[in-house]
Structure 1
Amino acid sequence: MIAFLNLIRVKNLLFIVLVQVLIKITLFDQLEYSTALSYFDFAILTFATVCIAAGGYIINDIYDVAIDCVNKPLKVIVGNKISQNTAHYIYLVVTSVGVLAGFYLSNLIERQFLAGLFIILAALLYLYASFIKKILLAGNLLVALLVAMSIIILGLFDLFPVINTENREVFTNAFTLILAYALFAFLLTLLREIVKDLEDINGDKNGERKTIPIVLGRKRTGILLFFMCVIIVFSVLFYMYQELYRFPYAMLYFLFLIIGPLLYFCIKILSTNTKTGYAKLASIPKLVMLFGILSLLLYHFGIIQ
């Protein structure tokens, strides 16, 4: 059971659940108009998202066995604790369940074309594992896009189907906020993925991949990450200036829990050159993403109005 949970990255899946539930409770439930999905149907949407994501983790591990034996030999699951045939079977089951759940929801909200979204996401995850991640930057961008889609998909299924002239302004504002959080998640995920490439540079060389650290080298990649992080910092500061200047507690939250860790990342990325150091730095964007999503509670409790 432990091997299975590690194979599907249960911690990452729980993070997806947390993000989607927080958006539902703290944002959608506070709107003055009803959304499309009941709690049960929303749970199915979250379940479908988790199944597709789990399938992506499994197929990636199947294709990455040789590289993982170099990068993290003690953590290899496929071919060690779980056979490749079993892993393939689990992949097919969870992905199929996710796609079928997507079909059910699409028919429920009478937007059948949205069913294709789950097929596309599953296909992209398979293509990522099989060859896209070998293409310079393409794999990083795709992973970041898929993380952003786990947020955007909520608006597509829960807001979009019931938009009308009466609620258009309210739902459009809510969807705009979702897009802002999705962009934030996209940038942080892209940052994290490149740091992970620094951490895994030796195995990636053996796997004949073209990652940014392999092409640019560690030092130049560190400089690139520094400027990427600076852009994120200034983007958050701009958001704070535009939207939060009237809410001092929200300003403090963002300064200490989002800006602070990002500034620490900026400082350390220029001096770190060890696998352990990169592993620690890779956890910062994920932590900041968590604090970013938890900031939705500021809206829920009226700290931001």
Structure 2
Amino acid sequence: DQTMIEELFIAPESAMPMQSVAEAKAHAGRGIIGDRYCARKGTFSVFRASVKQKGRREPGRQITLVAAEGIEQALIMNGIKALDSLGNFRRNVVLRGVPAAELQASVGREIKLGQECVVFVHRQCMPCLYLERYLSREGLVEATWECPGVSCEVVTSGTIRVGDTVSIGETVDEERVDCGEAHGRKEYMVPPSKRTKRMRDAANAAVSAALPRLLDVDPGGVVRALEAHQALGIKLFARPKRFRRGEAATERFCWMVLIFVALLVVITACQKVREWYERQVTT
């Protein structure tokens, strides 16, 4: 069976619903025209720094592909409610007819979409808590860890359409692969359930340490990411230690005041009881 494009999706802005389209124009070096990552307005755009070219953006976040069967099977196997649309998984191109394992193993290869467009696979996408909360599907991260899709660079511009055939190249060029700074860290490549406390702390520290640089490069992107995560109750950046120490000291002081007041109330009550008792005895 041939691999085909079953659906195409774009979202103009961060956190906006994905829109189904019959065809889309992929622009080399940018992405799909009209999509938030092409315009650098995605929730995670601010974090996409190249690991090979300092100061440049990660090339592999221009267009994303996912195998439909992989997501569908993962949800069924883990007892998770099916998605109303595979577009809700927030990948641009939904493929039908390719095993998820084969697509995930295509890192370092070129993939031809239709008659014109060619993309290069830089890395696997990583399921995230943001998407799990966004879709209200508890357990989605772990369930889709082996089939989350791939992130690609548009190498050759072209129009891609629903129903187009897709072919994965045989040649692997690892020298071209740029997985980005975040995905170059090993703790991100381990499912959350298998991460040690040290891994979690290292991941949180890395994100927080990058905050000053990210604010210099793209302050609007930082705000966008913060707002998107806060809307779902997710803490994106850990507060600096100096603030956490101050908060801890304030909390301890409040507890001390509360205890002092409680003791004062108890002492006052005891005095009142004693005075009442003495009056009863004298009478």
Q: TM-score, normalised by structure 1?
A: 0.28
Q: TM-score, normalised by structure 2?
A: 0.30
Higher helix share: 1
Structure number with larger C-alpha Rg: 2
Higher strand share: 2
